[in-house]
Structure formats: C-alpha cells, structure tokens
Amino acid sequence: MSIGADPSAALAALARRRADYESAGLDVADVDDDPIEQWKHWYGQAVEAGCVEPNAFVLGTVDDEGFPQTRYLLARGVDAEGFVFFTNYDSDKSRQLAARPRASMLFTWLQLHRQLRVVGLVERVSAAESDAYFASRPRSSQIGAWASPQSQPIVDRAVLELRVDELEAKFAGEPVPRPEHWGGWRLDPTMIELWQGRPSRLHDRIRYTRPARADPWAIARLAP
C-alpha cells in the first residue's frame, strides 16, 4: 500500500502554522435579524468564493454511552422550518437521533475564515418530502441507498458490488422506489452562532438564541 509523501516536515511546522484573518468584521447591527437568512447570505458568499462542498457540515450526535459522535453530511434544504439532510434511518447517526432528538451542525467556510454553529431539535421529515428528494437523486445513488447497510460491518467491498448488481437487475427498466430505511431529518434550530475570523485572534462571534419556535431570536456578541 502506498503511504504517500513524507509528512514529517508538515507535522514539524504544525504548531507554528498561523494565518492572520484580514476579513471584514461582523457586528450585531450588520447581521440579519433572522439567522436562517444570515446562513443563506453566508452560503451564497461561500458558493461565490468557490468553497469546496459549501453545503457540507459536521453533524454532532450523542451515542448511548454519552460520547459525542461527529461526521460530515450535506445540507439539502434550508428554510424557516430548519435544516434538512438525508441519510439511512438504520445508521448509527439515525439511531442516536431517534434516541435523543437533539443535534449540532457545524458549517465551516475556511476560505472566508467563517464557521457557523447550530444546535437544535430534530425530527424526521415527512415521507412525501423524502420521496421527492429521493426521486431527484441520480439512479446510481438511489441503488446505493438500497445496497448499503450503512454503519454495519461488511466483509469486503465485493459484498456491496454484488448487491448493486442484484438491485440493478431487480429494478431494471423501472423507477427505483425509496427504501423505507432511507429519508430525511430536519433540525429546528434553537441556537445559531456566527464566527468571523479577525486579525490578532480578536475574532467576531454573534450568537442567536431562541428557546422555542414562537420566541423571537435574541442576539448577543460573545468574546472570542
């Protein structure tokens, strides 16, 4: 197996790596009163800036032993109701969300020296919403959703490839239906925090909180 380039020089310099952030600042007066609208502004700017996978975020859940568990996902919808993502309902993350319907999301747009943290309550989206999104996916991804027992141990990759072949034969010439074990979750935020990198580590942090959906968002500046 190839192990690639020698990383020792990069590792030796790791503690000394320092980028100074010259970006424009962030003030309570400048941000949108609604953090979801603010997310949309920042997402649009991330797309314009060419950030890699601008809709990627780290989903944080808590497992049965109380350990935090994180992994990247892709946001597929954002509106006044919250943030939507799709996955396997039998996966580890979905089992954790079902047991404790609370989660965090972390978006990072490093080229813009920005992160956006979200905390909130989660619930499954409607079957109709999952159906609609599933139908919009490439056929190979639809087959993949059937083929992969996400988060389960498998003997080798050939197991998956064999399942894909079997499923392609099974669904040949017809639309691939959504498996019941695959669908969306919506996170309804109670907290959203914007972080903008600034020079000399005096970064800007603006936190929005809303204890319940009916409450207005409260906005505060936090020390970096």
| Residues noted as catalytic | 201
Candidate segments 3-11, 35-43, 64-72, 205-213, binder of ligand FMN by CB under 6 A: 64-72
Chosen residue from 26, 31, 91, 176 binding ligand FMN by CB under 6 A: 91
Q: Which of 193, 32, 53 is nearest to 117 (CA)?
A: 193
Contacts of 189-193 spanning 24+ positions with Cβ under 8 A: 189/35, 189/36, 189/82, 189/83, 189/118, 189/119, 189/120, 190/119, 190/120, 190/121, 191/117, 191/118, 191/119, 191/120, 192/35, 192/36, 192/38, 192/39, 192/116, 192/117, 192/118, 193/116, 193/117, 193/222
Give yes or no for residue 217 binding ligand FMN (CB under 6 A). Answer: no
The distance of closest approach from Cβ of residue 182 to ligand FMN in the complex, given in angstroms and rounded to an integer, is 9
Give yes or no for residue 85 binding ligand FMN (CB under 6 A). Answer: yes
The distance of closest approach from Cβ of residue 74 to ligand FMN in the complex, given in angstroms and rounded to an integer, is 4
Candidate segments 68-76, 103-111, 161-169, 183-191, binder of ligand FMN by CB under 6 A: 68-76
Give yes or no for residue 93 binding ligand FMN (CB under 6 A). Answer: yes
Candidate segments 6-14, 30-38, 72-80, 123-131, binder of ligand FMN by CB under 6 A: 72-80
Residue 122 dihedral angles phi and psi, to the nearest 5°: -115, 150
Q: Tell me how far apart the alpha carbons of residues 124 and 131 are, in angstroms, rounded to a whole number.
A: 13
Give yes or no for residue 156 binding ligand FMN (CB under 6 A). Answer: no
Chosen residue from 45, 111, 148, 150 binding ligand FMN by CB under 6 A: 150
Tokens of 109: 């747009």
Give yes or no for residue 104 binding ligand FMN (CB under 6 A). Answer: no
The distance of closest approach from Cβ of residue 47 to ligand FMN in the complex, given in angstroms and rounded to an integer, is 15
* Residue nearer to ligand FMN on the CB measure, 95 or 113: 95
114-124 and 182-196 strand pairing = antiparallel
Give yes or no for residue 191 binding ligand FMN (CB under 6 A). Answer: no
Helix axes 157-170, 139-147, angle to 10 degrees: 120
Give yes or no for residue 63 binding ligand FMN (CB under 6 A). Answer: no
Binding site for ligand FMN (CB under 6 A): 53, 56, 69, 71-74, 85-88, 91-93, 150-151
